[in-house]
Structure 1
């Protein structure tokens, strides 16, 4: 089940990220979510199995961050559903443009979500 901006604990989010990203280190998500336009979560029973965060510039632009699906829930369309639900929520909250940065191997996934490639720049800080 997908829900928009549910209350999520650090324990839930860290468990999802640890299962999904081998190098994840436990962190507090409150500072991140406090700057978010919205987020969408997917639960299977009581377990958090998917998450996407939508950051904002406070104006017309929103940004997809941290698209995450547990490995045992992947390849079933959940990630696409999360991103599309996030896009609809961003639109409902006034965003006119939705941006995402991704590695080349994820281009097909984000195309299925409705994104088209654009030129962009990135500076690692």
Structure 2
């Protein structure tokens, strides 16, 4: 089996990343302008590639200062439970630290608590407002 390669700030194909998200979250694939969003709002992004195929993704948005925000962690369902998500998170954490962030925030549904704890995140109280 080919080894997974983790590529920071890779050239994003909007269709490919949109399809990965749709497959992982069980939704209909609609092309999202990922490349434009990432360039504008993200400190970094990391793709997990099996050969030339994108099988995982995460990115870090930030406030331009001390705070980064881990977003859109996703792994193709056919490749889950192999440590790809944890490796993506670890890569994002290192990139955020190298980018000058002092804090990295993440929010998630309760079912992902064990995953994010294994990635080194502690539980905090936070507020959420659906708009």
TM-score by length of 2: 0.92
> Matches of 1:116 and 1:37 in 2, distance apart?
22
Cα offset for 1:18? 1.9
**1:40 maps to what in 2?**
46
Question: Aligned to 2:73, what secondary structure does the other structure show?
Answer: strand
The counterpart of 1:89, out of the listed 86, 91, 95, is: 95
> Matches of 1:40 and 1:67 in 2, distance apart?
10
Question: Aligned to 2:46, what secondary structure does the other structure show?
Answer: strand
TM-score by length of 1: 0.96
Of residues 28-37 and 96-105 in structure 1, the stretch that sits farther from structure 2 once superposed is 28-37
- Aligned residue pairs total 125
Cα offset for 1:14? 1.4
Cα offset for 1:30? 2.6
**1:68 maps to what in 2?**
74
> Matches of 2:10 and 2:59 in 1, distance apart?
12
Question: Aligned to 1:87, what secondary structure does the other structure show?
Answer: helix
1:5 partnered with 2:9: yes
Cα RMSD of the aligned pairs, angstroms, is 1.0
> Matches of 2:53 and 2:22 in 1, distance apart?
14
Gaps of 5+ in 2: none
Gaps of 5+ in 1: none
**1:99 maps to what in 2?**
105
